[in-house]
Structure 1
Amino acid sequence: MTTQFNRTAIYISLGLSIALVFGVIFGAKFVFENTAKAPVAISPIKSDFADSPQCSGAVDALPSDFMGHPRAEVAEPVPAGVAAWASTSTDEVTLRCGVDLPLQYTSYSQPQDIDGSRWLEVSDMTPGSTLTTWYNTDHFPTLAVTTFDDARPSGLDSALHKLDSRSPSPAPAPLSQLAAGPDAMCGEL
Protein backbone atom coordinates (compact mmCIF):
# COMPACT_ATOMS: atom_id res chain seq x y z
CA MET A 1 0.00 0.00 0.00
CA THR A 2 1.47 3.35 -1.00
CA THR A 3 0.71 6.54 0.80
CA GLN A 4 0.43 9.67 -1.24
CA PHE A 5 1.02 13.08 0.22
CA ASN A 6 -0.93 16.08 -0.85
CA ARG A 7 1.75 18.33 -2.30
CA THR A 8 -0.40 21.41 -2.06
CA ALA A 9 -0.81 20.96 1.72
CA ILE A 10 2.95 20.46 2.11
CA TYR A 11 3.76 23.62 0.12
CA ILE A 12 1.23 25.63 2.12
CA SER A 13 2.67 24.33 5.43
CA LEU A 14 6.22 25.09 4.31
CA GLY A 15 5.24 28.60 3.17
CA LEU A 16 3.45 29.31 6.49
CA SER A 17 6.47 28.04 8.46
CA ILE A 18 8.85 30.31 6.57
CA ALA A 19 6.48 33.29 6.97
CA LEU A 20 6.26 32.67 10.74
CA VAL A 21 10.05 32.51 11.08
CA PHE A 22 10.43 35.84 9.27
CA GLY A 23 7.57 37.30 11.34
CA VAL A 24 9.32 36.36 14.59
CA ILE A 25 12.66 37.78 13.39
CA PHE A 26 11.16 41.10 12.27
CA GLY A 27 8.96 41.30 15.38
CA ALA A 28 11.96 40.78 17.66
CA LYS A 29 13.93 43.42 15.75
CA PHE A 30 11.03 45.89 16.08
CA VAL A 31 10.69 45.28 19.84
CA PHE A 32 14.47 45.54 20.38
CA GLU A 33 14.74 48.80 18.43
CA ASN A 34 11.82 50.36 20.29
CA THR A 35 13.28 49.28 23.65
CA ALA A 36 16.64 50.74 22.66
CA LYS A 37 14.94 54.04 21.83
CA ALA A 38 13.15 54.26 25.19
CA PRO A 39 13.84 57.53 27.04
CA VAL A 40 16.77 57.43 29.45
CA ALA A 41 15.75 57.98 33.08
CA ILE A 42 17.97 60.46 34.93
CA SER A 43 17.13 61.12 38.56
CA PRO A 44 17.35 64.68 39.88
CA ILE A 45 20.25 65.44 42.21
CA LYS A 46 21.48 68.58 43.92
CA SER A 47 22.95 70.70 41.14
CA ASP A 48 23.08 74.34 42.19
CA PHE A 49 24.36 75.57 38.81
CA ALA A 50 22.37 73.28 36.47
CA ASP A 51 20.04 76.17 35.57
CA SER A 52 22.93 78.56 34.85
CA PRO A 53 23.38 80.16 31.42
CA GLN A 54 26.75 78.39 31.10
CA CYS A 55 25.13 74.95 31.58
CA SER A 56 22.34 75.80 29.14
CA GLY A 57 24.95 76.82 26.56
CA ALA A 58 27.02 73.68 27.21
CA VAL A 59 24.01 71.37 26.84
CA ASP A 60 23.00 73.13 23.61
CA ALA A 61 26.54 72.66 22.24
CA LEU A 62 26.69 68.91 22.91
CA PRO A 63 27.25 66.60 19.93
CA SER A 64 24.44 64.50 18.46
CA ASP A 65 26.72 61.44 18.61
CA PHE A 66 28.96 60.91 21.63
CA MET A 67 31.19 57.98 22.52
CA GLY A 68 29.70 55.95 19.67
CA HIS A 69 26.06 56.47 20.71
CA PRO A 70 23.30 58.65 19.25
CA ARG A 71 21.61 61.33 21.34
CA ALA A 72 18.72 59.89 23.37
CA GLU A 73 15.57 61.39 24.78
CA VAL A 74 15.52 61.93 28.56
CA ALA A 75 12.46 60.66 30.45
CA GLU A 76 10.14 63.18 32.13
CA PRO A 77 10.65 64.99 34.42
CA VAL A 78 13.86 66.14 32.78
CA PRO A 79 16.28 67.67 35.32
CA ALA A 80 18.05 70.87 34.27
CA GLY A 81 21.51 70.56 32.71
CA VAL A 82 21.32 66.92 31.60
CA ALA A 83 21.74 65.02 28.34
CA ALA A 84 21.93 61.35 27.35
CA TRP A 85 23.18 59.15 24.54
CA ALA A 86 22.23 55.49 24.12
CA SER A 87 22.47 52.66 21.62
CA THR A 88 20.49 50.23 23.79
CA SER A 89 18.87 50.38 27.20
CA THR A 90 22.06 49.05 28.80
CA ASP A 91 24.59 51.09 26.79
CA GLU A 92 23.80 54.58 28.09
CA VAL A 93 26.01 57.63 28.62
CA THR A 94 24.64 60.52 30.66
CA LEU A 95 25.95 64.03 31.20
CA ARG A 96 25.14 66.44 34.02
CA CYS A 97 26.21 70.07 34.19
CA GLY A 98 26.46 72.11 37.37
CA VAL A 99 27.23 69.30 39.80
CA ASP A 100 29.58 69.51 42.75
CA LEU A 101 32.93 67.79 42.47
CA PRO A 102 33.12 64.63 44.59
CA LEU A 103 35.11 64.53 47.82
CA GLN A 104 37.66 62.35 45.98
CA TYR A 105 38.89 65.57 44.32
CA THR A 106 41.69 66.63 46.69
CA SER A 107 45.16 68.10 46.28
CA TYR A 108 46.34 64.47 45.96
CA SER A 109 44.01 63.68 43.04
CA GLN A 110 45.55 63.02 39.67
CA PRO A 111 43.01 64.00 36.99
CA GLN A 112 43.69 62.64 33.52
CA ASP A 113 44.23 64.77 30.44
CA ILE A 114 41.55 64.10 27.81
CA ASP A 115 41.55 66.33 24.71
CA GLY A 116 43.46 69.06 26.58
CA SER A 117 41.09 69.14 29.54
CA ARG A 118 41.46 67.59 33.01
CA TRP A 119 39.01 64.85 34.12
CA LEU A 120 38.76 62.99 37.44
CA GLU A 121 37.70 59.35 37.13
CA VAL A 122 35.45 57.95 39.87
CA SER A 123 34.42 54.30 39.50
CA ASP A 124 31.36 52.80 41.15
CA MET A 125 32.65 50.32 43.73
CA THR A 126 29.38 48.36 43.91
CA PRO A 127 30.13 44.69 43.14
CA GLY A 128 29.20 43.92 39.53
CA SER A 129 28.86 47.57 38.53
CA THR A 130 30.77 48.91 35.53
CA LEU A 131 29.65 52.54 35.92
CA THR A 132 32.33 55.21 35.81
CA THR A 133 31.76 58.93 36.26
CA TRP A 134 34.23 61.47 34.89
CA TYR A 135 34.27 64.98 36.42
CA ASN A 136 35.83 67.89 34.55
CA THR A 137 38.19 69.71 36.92
CA ASP A 138 39.23 72.77 34.94
CA HIS A 139 35.90 74.36 34.01
CA PHE A 140 33.02 75.80 36.01
CA PRO A 141 30.23 74.76 36.36
CA THR A 142 31.43 71.17 36.54
CA LEU A 143 30.46 68.59 33.91
CA ALA A 144 30.00 64.97 35.00
CA VAL A 145 29.83 62.19 32.39
CA THR A 146 28.68 58.74 33.53
CA THR A 147 29.51 55.81 31.28
CA PHE A 148 28.46 52.16 31.43
CA ASP A 149 32.11 51.16 31.03
CA ASP A 150 35.51 52.79 31.55
CA ALA A 151 35.42 54.73 28.27
CA ARG A 152 36.92 58.23 28.45
CA PRO A 153 34.68 61.22 27.58
CA SER A 154 36.34 62.49 24.43
CA GLY A 155 34.77 65.05 22.08
CA LEU A 156 33.21 67.63 24.41
CA ASP A 157 35.37 70.61 23.38
CA SER A 158 32.47 72.71 22.06
CA ALA A 159 30.47 72.22 25.27
CA LEU A 160 33.47 72.95 27.52
CA HIS A 161 34.08 76.24 25.68
CA LYS A 162 30.67 77.43 26.93
CA LEU A 163 31.86 77.08 30.55
CA ASP A 164 34.19 79.31 32.55
CA SER A 165 37.84 78.26 32.42
CA ARG A 166 38.61 78.06 36.10
CA SER A 167 39.50 75.23 38.39
CA PRO A 168 37.41 74.67 41.49
CA SER A 169 39.15 74.33 44.85
CA PRO A 170 39.96 70.77 45.83
CA ALA A 171 38.29 69.23 48.87
CA PRO A 172 40.42 69.04 52.00
CA ALA A 173 42.49 65.92 52.53
CA PRO A 174 41.98 65.42 56.28
CA LEU A 175 44.63 62.72 56.70
CA SER A 176 47.30 65.13 55.45
CA GLN A 177 46.51 67.47 58.33
CA LEU A 178 47.01 64.93 61.12
CA ALA A 179 49.86 65.54 63.53
CA ALA A 180 52.70 63.04 63.46
CA GLY A 181 52.18 60.24 65.95
CA PRO A 182 54.65 58.92 68.52
CA ASP A 183 56.05 56.40 66.02
CA ALA A 184 57.34 59.24 63.86
CA MET A 185 60.25 59.70 66.24
CA CYS A 186 61.42 56.07 65.89
CA GLY A 187 63.18 56.80 62.60
CA GLU A 188 65.24 59.61 64.17
CA LEU A 189 66.99 57.51 66.81
Structure 2
Amino acid sequence: MAADSSDPTAADDRDDTSPGGDTPEATTDQSATSSADASSTDSVAKPGTDADTDADDDDASTPYSPALIATAVALPIVLIVGVLVAAVIALRAPVEREPLALGPVPAPAADSPACQALLPALPADLGEYTKSTLVEPAPPATRAWQHPDGGEPIVLRCGLDRPLEFNRASPLTVIDGVKWFQVRDEMGKVGTWFAVDRETYIALTVPDGSGTDAIQTVSGVITANLPAREPTPGEL
Protein backbone atom coordinates (compact mmCIF):
# COMPACT_ATOMS: atom_id res chain seq x y z
CA MET A 1 0.00 0.00 0.00
CA ALA A 2 1.40 3.36 -0.90
CA ALA A 3 2.65 5.75 1.82
CA ASP A 4 0.39 8.59 2.59
CA SER A 5 2.09 11.82 1.67
CA SER A 6 0.07 13.68 4.16
CA ASP A 7 1.53 11.82 7.17
CA PRO A 8 2.86 14.39 9.57
CA THR A 9 5.48 12.06 10.95
CA ALA A 10 7.06 11.57 7.58
CA ALA A 11 7.34 15.30 7.05
CA ASP A 12 9.20 15.83 10.34
CA ASP A 13 11.63 13.02 9.50
CA ARG A 14 12.47 14.60 6.19
CA ASP A 15 13.21 17.97 7.78
CA ASP A 16 15.60 16.50 10.33
CA THR A 17 17.57 14.44 7.85
CA SER A 18 17.68 16.66 4.77
CA PRO A 19 21.09 16.63 3.03
CA GLY A 20 23.27 19.71 3.73
CA GLY A 21 21.03 20.90 6.53
CA ASP A 22 22.62 22.66 9.54
CA THR A 23 21.71 22.11 13.10
CA PRO A 24 20.75 25.15 15.23
CA GLU A 25 24.05 24.91 17.13
CA ALA A 26 26.12 25.19 13.95
CA THR A 27 24.29 28.32 12.88
CA THR A 28 24.98 30.02 16.19
CA ASP A 29 28.72 29.26 15.97
CA GLN A 30 29.01 30.85 12.54
CA SER A 31 27.36 34.08 13.73
CA ALA A 32 29.81 34.38 16.63
CA THR A 33 32.76 33.84 14.31
CA SER A 34 31.55 36.59 11.98
CA SER A 35 31.19 39.05 14.88
CA ALA A 36 34.73 38.32 16.08
CA ASP A 37 36.13 38.92 12.59
CA ALA A 38 34.36 42.28 12.38
CA SER A 39 35.73 43.38 15.75
CA SER A 40 39.22 42.38 14.71
CA THR A 41 38.90 44.41 11.53
CA ASP A 42 37.72 47.51 13.47
CA SER A 43 40.76 47.36 15.74
CA VAL A 44 43.19 47.99 12.85
CA ALA A 45 44.72 51.52 13.10
CA LYS A 46 43.36 54.03 10.62
CA PRO A 47 44.85 57.38 9.56
CA GLY A 48 44.15 60.06 12.11
CA THR A 49 43.58 57.66 15.00
CA ASP A 50 45.47 57.34 18.34
CA ALA A 51 48.29 55.43 16.67
CA ASP A 52 49.16 58.45 14.53
CA THR A 53 49.00 60.72 17.56
CA ASP A 54 51.52 58.55 19.40
CA ALA A 55 53.85 58.72 16.42
CA ASP A 56 53.62 62.53 16.39
CA ASP A 57 54.42 62.62 20.12
CA ASP A 58 57.53 60.51 19.50
CA ASP A 59 58.66 62.96 16.81
CA ALA A 60 58.09 65.96 19.10
CA SER A 61 60.17 64.40 21.88
CA THR A 62 63.19 63.90 19.63
CA PRO A 63 66.29 65.39 21.48
CA TYR A 64 68.10 68.50 20.13
CA SER A 65 71.28 68.03 18.16
CA PRO A 66 74.60 68.07 20.10
CA ALA A 67 75.76 71.18 18.23
CA LEU A 68 72.66 73.12 19.29
CA ILE A 69 73.07 72.06 22.92
CA ALA A 70 76.78 73.02 22.91
CA THR A 71 75.91 76.47 21.52
CA ALA A 72 73.24 77.03 24.16
CA VAL A 73 75.70 76.12 26.93
CA ALA A 74 78.63 78.10 25.54
CA LEU A 75 76.77 81.35 24.84
CA PRO A 76 76.22 82.37 28.51
CA ILE A 77 79.85 81.51 29.29
CA VAL A 78 81.07 83.71 26.43
CA LEU A 79 78.90 86.58 27.66
CA ILE A 80 80.23 86.26 31.22
CA VAL A 81 83.84 86.17 30.01
CA GLY A 82 83.19 89.25 27.87
CA VAL A 83 81.81 91.17 30.84
CA LEU A 84 84.81 90.20 33.00
CA VAL A 85 87.30 91.23 30.31
CA ALA A 86 85.54 94.58 29.88
CA ALA A 87 85.65 95.12 33.64
CA VAL A 88 89.38 94.36 33.80
CA ILE A 89 90.08 96.74 30.90
CA ALA A 90 88.03 99.44 32.59
CA LEU A 91 89.96 99.00 35.85
CA ARG A 92 93.30 99.19 34.08
CA ALA A 93 92.37 102.16 31.96
CA PRO A 94 93.92 105.42 33.20
CA VAL A 95 91.55 107.71 35.06
CA GLU A 96 90.96 111.02 33.30
CA ARG A 97 91.91 113.55 35.96
CA GLU A 98 90.74 117.11 36.09
CA PRO A 99 93.44 119.82 35.88
CA LEU A 100 94.80 120.61 39.31
CA ALA A 101 94.27 124.10 40.75
CA LEU A 102 97.08 125.40 42.99
CA GLY A 103 97.06 128.63 44.95
CA PRO A 104 99.84 131.18 44.51
CA VAL A 105 102.79 131.28 46.92
CA PRO A 106 105.41 134.08 46.97
CA ALA A 107 108.33 132.89 44.82
CA PRO A 108 110.66 135.87 44.15
CA ALA A 109 113.36 133.64 42.64
CA ALA A 110 111.04 131.58 40.38
CA ASP A 111 112.90 132.84 37.29
CA SER A 112 116.37 132.20 38.76
CA PRO A 113 118.91 130.02 36.94
CA ALA A 114 118.55 127.43 39.68
CA CYS A 115 114.83 126.94 39.00
CA GLN A 116 115.33 127.01 35.25
CA ALA A 117 117.86 124.18 35.60
CA LEU A 118 115.80 122.15 38.07
CA LEU A 119 112.29 122.08 36.57
CA PRO A 120 113.14 120.46 33.19
CA ALA A 121 115.12 117.75 35.01
CA LEU A 122 112.18 116.61 37.16
CA PRO A 123 110.72 113.22 36.18
CA ALA A 124 107.19 112.66 34.93
CA ASP A 125 106.56 110.04 37.64
CA LEU A 126 107.30 109.98 41.33
CA GLY A 127 106.65 106.39 42.38
CA GLU A 128 102.94 105.77 41.73
CA TYR A 129 102.28 109.49 41.23
CA THR A 130 102.14 110.93 37.70
CA LYS A 131 102.56 114.49 36.49
CA SER A 132 99.45 116.64 36.78
CA THR A 133 98.14 119.30 34.43
CA LEU A 134 97.77 122.61 36.27
CA VAL A 135 94.91 125.06 35.91
CA GLU A 136 96.09 128.23 34.19
CA PRO A 137 97.40 130.61 35.21
CA ALA A 138 99.60 128.19 37.13
CA PRO A 139 101.98 129.43 39.85
CA PRO A 140 105.49 130.01 38.45
CA ALA A 141 108.21 127.38 38.88
CA THR A 142 105.72 124.81 40.16
CA ARG A 143 105.21 121.13 39.37
CA ALA A 144 102.66 118.65 40.72
CA TRP A 145 102.03 114.93 40.64
CA GLN A 146 98.93 112.94 41.58
CA HIS A 147 97.96 109.34 42.10
CA PRO A 148 96.10 107.93 39.05
CA ASP A 149 92.90 107.93 41.12
CA GLY A 150 93.38 111.55 42.15
CA GLY A 151 93.62 112.64 45.77
CA GLU A 152 96.15 114.88 47.49
CA PRO A 153 98.98 115.87 45.14
CA ILE A 154 102.74 116.03 45.55
CA VAL A 155 103.75 119.64 44.84
CA LEU A 156 107.19 121.11 44.19
CA ARG A 157 107.76 124.87 44.24
CA CYS A 158 111.06 126.54 43.41
CA GLY A 159 112.38 130.06 44.16
CA LEU A 160 110.66 130.54 47.53
CA ASP A 161 111.59 132.80 50.43
CA ARG A 162 113.24 131.28 53.49
CA PRO A 163 110.56 129.62 55.63
CA LEU A 164 109.75 131.52 58.81
CA GLU A 165 110.14 128.39 60.95
CA PHE A 166 113.72 127.76 59.78
CA ASN A 167 116.23 128.96 62.35
CA ARG A 168 119.54 127.91 63.90
CA ALA A 169 117.83 125.40 66.16
CA SER A 170 115.90 123.71 63.40
CA PRO A 171 116.75 120.01 62.89
CA LEU A 172 117.86 119.06 59.40
CA THR A 173 117.61 115.76 57.54
CA VAL A 174 120.19 114.89 54.88
CA ILE A 175 118.86 112.83 51.95
CA ASP A 176 121.12 112.03 49.01
CA GLY A 177 123.36 115.02 49.79
CA VAL A 178 120.51 117.54 50.25
CA LYS A 179 119.77 119.18 53.62
CA TRP A 180 116.04 119.29 54.25
CA PHE A 181 114.00 121.09 56.88
CA GLN A 182 110.48 119.70 57.44
CA VAL A 183 107.33 121.56 58.45
CA ARG A 184 104.26 119.52 59.40
CA ASP A 185 100.70 120.52 58.58
CA GLU A 186 98.68 118.32 60.91
CA MET A 187 95.36 119.70 59.68
CA GLY A 188 96.07 118.78 56.07
CA LYS A 189 97.91 115.55 56.94
CA VAL A 190 100.85 116.61 54.78
CA GLY A 191 104.48 117.50 55.32
CA THR A 192 106.49 120.13 53.44
CA TRP A 193 110.22 119.60 53.04
CA PHE A 194 112.43 122.63 52.33
CA ALA A 195 115.82 122.20 50.66
CA VAL A 196 117.86 124.85 52.52
CA ASP A 197 121.36 124.37 51.14
CA ARG A 198 121.03 125.55 47.51
CA GLU A 199 121.00 128.89 45.71
CA THR A 200 117.25 129.19 46.33
CA TYR A 201 114.71 127.50 48.56
CA ILE A 202 112.82 124.55 47.14
CA ALA A 203 109.70 123.17 48.80
CA LEU A 204 108.30 119.66 48.30
CA THR A 205 104.86 119.04 49.84
CA VAL A 206 104.11 115.34 50.30
CA PRO A 207 100.81 113.83 51.56
CA ASP A 208 100.96 111.29 54.35
CA GLY A 209 101.11 107.70 53.16
CA SER A 210 102.73 108.48 49.81
CA GLY A 211 106.04 106.83 50.72
CA THR A 212 109.60 108.09 50.37
CA ASP A 213 109.99 107.83 46.58
CA ALA A 214 109.23 111.51 46.02
CA ILE A 215 111.74 112.96 48.48
CA GLN A 216 114.47 110.53 47.40
CA THR A 217 113.94 111.15 43.68
CA VAL A 218 113.83 114.93 44.01
CA SER A 219 116.93 114.87 46.22
CA GLY A 220 118.80 113.04 43.47
CA VAL A 221 117.68 115.58 40.85
CA ILE A 222 118.70 118.53 43.05
CA THR A 223 122.12 117.04 43.76
CA ALA A 224 122.71 116.38 40.05
CA ASN A 225 121.70 119.86 38.86
CA LEU A 226 122.25 122.44 41.62
CA PRO A 227 125.48 123.07 43.53
CA ALA A 228 125.31 122.90 47.33
CA ARG A 229 126.09 125.76 49.72
CA GLU A 230 125.90 126.35 53.44
CA PRO A 231 122.40 126.98 54.84
CA THR A 232 121.57 130.46 56.16
CA PRO A 233 118.95 129.94 58.87
CA GLY A 234 117.13 132.75 60.62
CA GLU A 235 117.79 133.96 64.13
CA LEU A 236 116.20 132.31 67.16
TM-score, reference length from structure 1:
0.70
CA contact (8 A) 1:138 1:166 kept: yes
Partner of 1:90: 151
Paired letter, 2:159: G
Q: 1:38 to 1:86 in 2, by over 3 A?
A: same
1:154 equivalent to 2:219? Answer no
Partner of 1:142: 201
1:120 equivalent to 2:146? Answer no
CA contact (8 A) 2:191 2:205 kept: yes
Shift of 1:168: 5.5
Shift of 1:121: 1.1
1:72 equivalent to 2:131? Answer yes
Shift of 1:106: 1.3
For residues 169 and 76 of structure 1, the distance between their equivalents in structure 2, rounded to whole angstroms, comes to 34
Q: 1:165 to 1:27 in 2, by over 3 A?
A: closer
For residues 128 and 75 of structure 2, the distance between their equivalents in structure 1, rounded to whole angstroms, comes to 44
1:133 equivalent to 2:196? Answer no
For residues 95 and 158 of structure 1, the distance between their equivalents in structure 2, rounded to whole angstroms, comes to 12
Shift of 1:82: 1.4
CA contact (8 A) 1:139 1:160 kept: no
For residues 65 and 21 of structure 1, the distance between their equivalents in structure 2, rounded to whole angstroms, comes to 30
Shift of 1:172: 3.8
For residues 44 and 69 of structure 1, the distance between their equivalents in structure 2, rounded to whole angstroms, comes to 26
- Which whole-Å deviations, capped at 9, do the CAs of 1:98-152 have from their partners, x for residues lacking one? 11232221121011111222100112111xx431111011112101111123637
> RMSD of the TM alignment (CA)?
3.0
Q: Which has the higher contact order (CA 8 A, sep 6+)?
A: 1
Shift of 1:79: 2.0
Partner of 2:86: 23
For residues 38 and 69 of structure 1, the distance between their equivalents in structure 2, rounded to whole angstroms, comes to 18
- Which whole-Å deviations, capped at 9, do the CAs of 1:48-83 have from their partners, x for residues lacking one? 1112232111112224444x2465143232321112
TM-score, reference length from structure 2:
0.58
Question: Which residue of the other structure, out of 91, 107, 128, is the alignment partner of 1:47?
Answer: 107
Query: Which consecutive residues of structure 1, in runs of 5 or more, have no partner in the other structure?
Result: 174-189
Shift of 1:96: 0.7
1:106 equivalent to 2:182? Answer no
CA contact (8 A) 1:40 1:72 kept: no
CA contact (8 A) 1:69 1:85 kept: no
Partner of 1:187: none
Residue identity over aligned pairs, in percent, reads 26
Flag the structure with larger Rg. 2
Q: 1:160 to 1:97 in 2, by over 3 A?
A: farther
Instruction: Give the stretch that moved more between structures: 17-26 or 137-146.
Output: 17-26
Matched position secondary structure for 1:79: coil
Matched position secondary structure for 2:216: coil
Query: Which consecutive residues of structure 2, in runs of 5 or more, have no partner in the other structure?
Result: 1-60
Task: Indicate the structure with greater helix content.
Answer: 2
